[in-house]
Amino acid sequence: MAYRLFLIFFIFSCSVTTNDNNNNTAINNKIIDVPLQYATNFTIKKIGHNTLLTIKQPWKGAQNHFQYLLYPYDKTKPTIYPHATKIPIPVKRIISTSTVDIAFLDFIQSKDNIVALTNGSYVYNHFIRQAHEEGKIKDIGSSGGIDYEKALTCNADMAFVYSIGDRQIYKKFNELNIPAVLLSDFMETHPLGRAEWAVFVACFLGKESIAIDNFKQIAQEYESLKLEAQQYTKSPSVLTGAVYKGTWHVAGGQSLMATFIKDASADYLWSDNQDVSGMPLDFEAVYEKAIDADYWINISYYKNKKTLIESESKYHDFKAFKEGKLFNYYKRASENGGSDIFESAIIYPNLVLKDMIQIFHKDTLNPKDLYYYTQLN
């Protein structure tokens, strides 16, 4: 395909000097910036045969960025960018600490590279789950209690670590000389921006071209579905979340979920909010604003109306409850509670958008037409 990595680089008129330890000569390498379509929280630069990855904001409020300098395993470790974590590539053995890692690696046909994981019982991916049950992939505990001695026996080349709350894990892996790499895809504000982090992950395995080609197809379908949704004249109102431990958490107005709802041509009730994550509210505030909402989605862990109403009798007052327009994302779930919405949906936002268009705009909804979502009955 014409859409290849090295054919789309924009070459900047700047250079960096590196030392080649093999012949002690200085080499000037132009910095080649790899353009991204939607992701805004990381950058890729090619410097000779090296690749520099920069995460701009690893988590909300972070002051420092993180950098990873990837170099061919058969080359001398470069001396440039002394503060960057330097990793020889392609990596072959990976520790996964999040289902998000699994989704990205599966997308680039590299799930075989996973040698250990945490929270294995909550994985949805059938291949990974089976390999885990057969002991082919080691279970090194949970994110709350990793068995680092067991992790050391995996001879891993690196570990992917989610930057939400896992900063101590990141530090510990590096102390054990297992290079840890943060994933901060959740900081993106567009679903396609988050999916494009597959290119970031692919750099560690030398599969950028595969990731770019696959992502291009996902993006094209998403944009086509978005245009399709704009043909509908009605824009139903949407409520998200449910009460948990006395607080109702709704999606922030700038969150990925809010973008999905907007792109499906529906009216998210908190679209004017500026939060990119969940927003905690009192029950009364939600009750007043959303009692007449047309649809209610992402209803915590509830799978039927009976358990929902047993948790809070006032839910019965909501229009969406009365009309049965309640939808949750547990159609694809494992026996142990693993949900594919937290795995493959990260990389296939086009399928999530397709579900929402079906839910919000189809007068007669066939459950078989939904991929991730199911209606509470």
Distance of CA 131 to the CA centre of its chain: 22
Beta strand 66-72 with 50-55 is antiparallel
In a domain, 367, yes or no: yes
Query: Could you list the residue range(s) of the whole structural domain that residue 347 is in?
Result: 234-375
In a domain, 285, yes or no: yes
**pLDDT of amino acid 97:** 92
**pLDDT of amino acid 20:** 41
Mean pLDDT of the 286-300 span: 97
In a domain, 252, yes or no: yes
pLDDT at 7 over 70: no
Residues 155-168 pLDDT 10s: 999 999 986 656 78
Number of structural domains (the chain) is 1
Q: Which residue has tokens 């922030």? A: 252
**pLDDT of amino acid 243:** 93
DSSP letter for 350, please.
H
Q: Which residue has tokens 């936002």? A: 349
In a domain, 283, yes or no: yes
Q: Give the SS3 label for residue 297.
A: strand
CA distances (Å), 332 to each of 73, 258, 336, 359, in order?
A: 39, 22, 12, 17
* Single-letter residue type at 30: K
* Single-letter residue type at 294: D
Domain CATH for 361: 3.40.50.1980
In a domain, 281, yes or no: yes
pLDDT at 301 over 60: yes
In a domain, 135, yes or no: no
Mean pLDDT of the 166-181 span: 89
58 and 163 Cβ atoms separated by less than 8 Å: yes
In a domain, 8, yes or no: no
| Confidence category of residue 24, pLDDT binned at 50, 70, 90 | very low
Residues 215-250 pLDDT 10s: 999 999 999 999 999 999 999 999 999 998 889 999
Residues 315-325 pLDDT 10s: 999 999 999 99
Q: Which one is predicted more confidently, 144 or 217?
A: 217
- Number of residues assigned to the chain: 377
Mean pLDDT of the 41-67 span: 92
3-state secondary structure 248-296: EEEECCCCHHHHHHHHCCCEECCCCCCCCCEEEECHHHHHHHHCCCCEE
- pTM score: 0.89
201 and 214 Cβ atoms separated by less than 8 Å: no
In a domain, 278, yes or no: yes
Q: Which one is predicted more confidently, 15 or 159?
A: 159
Residues 123-135 pLDDT 10s: 999 999 999 999 9
**pLDDT of amino acid 122:** 87
Mean pLDDT of the 81-102 span: 96
**pLDDT of amino acid 166:** 63
